[in-house]
Structure 1
Amino acid sequence: MSFRIELLVAKHVSGAADVLVNAYALPPWNENWSLEAAAENVTYVLQTPRSVALVAVDEGKVLGIALGIRQRRHTGPVIYLDELSVQPDAQGKGIGTALLSAMFETAKAEGCSSVWLISQRGGALSEFYQRSGFAMRSDLGIYSRSSG
């Protein structure tokens, strides 16, 4: 399989939404995204100032996406990686790794001190991120409050 990493632009939104729907439908997430909600999520990131949106494509088909936002922290500029998703039938072929590498190159080129993300503490995703050089922070937690 050959693919290339490009900037995600409007023509990729539908394919990027399809990636989100398919990737999040499987374990460990088991989420039921609609194409409309996924497209809205991708479009929102594209319209956000200082966003970084990348796509892996092969012959016009979107295989994976990386969506991030540049932020300023006390340590300097960073990129928060909001989404990294790959079509299930394209996983394990280096696409996620290539998207992460491209995000790091973008961060470095723009003077960002790091890339950070939130994901599961264990399992295959955690192992993937650790193999890719991410370290799990023991001093942080994720807090959520639902309205229902």
Structure 2
Amino acid sequence: MSEEIQTFTTEYLDDCANLYVEVFNSEPWNEQWTIETARLRLFEILNTPGFIGFVLRQDEVLGFVAGYCEQMQKGKGFYLKEICTHHDKQRRGIGTKLLNQLMNTLTGMEVTAIYLVTMKDGQAEAFYTKNGYQRSQKLIVMSKRFYK
């Protein structure tokens, strides 16, 4: 079967949740997702107004990208919430193909900016840098934990 990029719909939710757990529970993230929590996260993103997402398949889902458009001060912005590529298929252009599909779609919608949050100084940042993204000089990410 040849490689194909399709719109991310609920049809792909379970496959993408399984991939999400496999990837983000491993190095370098070492998170603790379950299939249920990953499925719920992706379901929530999928149902956010302005959602745009794609999956790349070749017999199975090899990767996906997902996020949503929102109104910014000057035009529309796109919040890239998740991009995920099968461990064994990384560094083979899947993520770049997904970003290119996303860019083509967003350009046609007159989106003026894409923003995202990722781990600094790692392979994810290197991937985004390679694809033309740069660290913001104006913005930082802040968090506050309030659970036990």
Query: In the TM superposition, what are the counterparts of 1:52-91 in structure 2 within 5 Å?
Result: 52-59=52-59, 61-91=60-90
- Scaled by the length of structure 2, what TM-score is found? 0.94
**Cα deviation, residue 121, structure 1:** 2.0
Q: Which consecutive aligned stretches of 4+ in structure 1 deviate over 6 angstroms post-superposition?
A: none
- Contact 1:78–1:107 (Cα < 8 Å) also in 2: no
Letter in 2 for 1:100: L
CA distance in 1 between counterparts of 2:73 and 2:89 reads 37
Q: How far does the alpha carbon of each residue in 1:21-61 deviate from its partner, in whole angstroms, 9 at most, with x for none? A: 011012221101100111111111121111011111112x1
Q: How far does the alpha carbon of each residue in 1:88-115 deviate from its partner, in whole angstroms, 9 at most, with x for none? A: 1111111100111111111101110121
Letter in 2 for 1:90: K
Q: In the alignment, which residue of structure 2 is the partner of 1:111?
A: 110
Q: Secondary structure at the match of 1:146?
A: coil
Q: In the alignment, which residue of structure 2 is the partner of 1:144?
A: 143
1:10 aligns with 2:10: yes
Percentage identity across paired residues of the two chains: 27
| Residue ranges of structure 2 left out of the alignment (5+ in a row) | none
| Residue ranges of structure 1 left out of the alignment (5+ in a row) | none
RMSD: 1.3
Q: Secondary structure at the match of 2:111?
A: coil
- Scaled by the length of structure 1, what TM-score is found? 0.94
1:92 aligns with 2:91: yes
